[in-house]
Structure 1
Amino acid sequence: MASVRDGLFFTLPEPLPVGRHKLSADHVGAAQRERLLAACCELMAAHGYRGFGIGDVARRARVSLGAFYRCFDGKDACVFAGYDRFIEVLIARLTGLDVEGMSRPRIAAELVDTYLDVMQQDVVVARAFQVEIDALGAPARERRRTSLTLLARYLQELAGGEDDDLPWSAYLGGVYAVRQLAVDALDEEPRPDLSRLGADLRPWLEDLFRVR
C-alpha cells in the first residue's frame, strides 16, 4: 500500500518509545493523531471509504483502539479531519503565490499549475480527498463547495481588478472544471501526469481569462 509523502500534508512522527518515557500526554496524543490521519488517508486511497474500518486504521497507525477513540469520535471524524488538513494546506500553497504584475490568464495558469503540482507531489492524499471522499455524501459535498468557492473568489480578487469583464460563473466554472479533470486523471491512472494536464489546459485558460 502506498504511503503519504511525509512533510507535505502530514508530518509523520518518529515511533513512540516502548515502556516508560518522559513524553507528555499531549505529545503522545498529537503523534498518535497524526499517524491516524495519515493511515486513514492511505487506506481510503487504496480501498475506498467502505473498504476499511477503524481497526484497520489503528493497526496501520500502530496505535490501540483506545488511542483512536481518544483522538476521534469515529471513522468519519478521522476522515474529515484529514480532509480539512488537505484543504488547509492546499489553500495555503495557492494563496502564497506571488502574482504581482501578472496578467489575468497568467494568474489563472499559475494557480492551476500550483494546484496540480501539489496533487502530483502526493497522489495518495490527492486520490483520497479528491476521488474517494465523495463516498461520504452531503457533508463532503458541502466542504467541497465551500473550498472551491473560496478558491474561485480568490482567483477573482487577484485577477479581476476594478474593471472585471468576466462574470462570477467564469471563475467558479473554471475552478470546477480543473478540479474535475484532475479527479478523472487520479481515478483512471495509478500515476497520472498532472503536469501534462496543466500544459494541455493553458490554451483554454488563456482564452477563458483573456481581457475582452
Structure 2
Amino acid sequence: MAYKFIDNYREKGARKRLVEVLRKKGIADERVLEAIGTVPRHYFFDETFWNQAYKDIAFPIGEGQTISQPYTVAYQTELLHICQGDKVLEIGTGSGYQTCVLLELGAKVYTIERQANLYDRTRWVLPNKMNYKANFFLGDGSIGIAAHAPYDKIIVTAGAPTVPGVLLKQLKIGGMMVIPVGDEKSQKMITVLRVGENDFEEMTLDTFRFVPLVGDKAW
C-alpha cells in the first residue's frame, strides 16, 4: 500500500459530508461524529481508491480483512459511551481506523491483531504518520490481553459465535463490552454490562455483518 499523507480541503469536505450521512442514519452522539469527522480515513487507502474513502462502505485492506463501514464504527463507538481516559481493549486492530476514532475520544487503547502484516503496518502508520499513540499487540484477540486487564470498555470488531467468557472476566465491574454475535453470515450487536463479580446484563440490538473472529475462543 502506498501512503501519501495529505489532508487538503477536498478530503476535509468529504469528511463533513460523511458525518452528515451518519447523522441522518441515526448516529446522535456529537463527540462520535466529531471524531469521525477528524480522522482522515483516506490515509488507510491506496491513493488509487481515495474516491472510496469517505463513502459509507467497508473496503478490503488485504489479508481477507476490511476497513469497517463508517456507520458500523460510529454505531459501536456510540454504544461504548467513551469517557476521557477510559482504558479500552480493542479486539481486531485491522486497518487502525476504529483505533483512531477511540483515541480521538480520549481513550487509552490496547489493541490486538492476529494478522502479522496488518499488525506491522498499523503499529507503524498510526504513530509515525498520523501521530496516534496506542498499545499494539500481535496475538489471539478472542482471549483478550489479560496482562493489562481490567478494562473500562471492550470492543470486538469481528463476528463471534458466542460472547467469550474470558473477555467478560477482563472487564471492570461497571465496564461494558460491545460485540457482534451470530453465525458467519450475520450477527446481532450485543452489549454486555458487568454489574457484579459474576453478574452481567446483556442487550441484543441490530443486525450486522462482520468478518469472523478467529481464535481459541471463537471460530
Normalising by the residue count of structure 1, what TM-score does the alignment of the two structures yield? 0.27
Larger RCO, structure (CA 8 Å, separation 6 or more): 1
Answer 1 or 2: which has greater helix percent. 1
| Higher CA-based Rg | 1
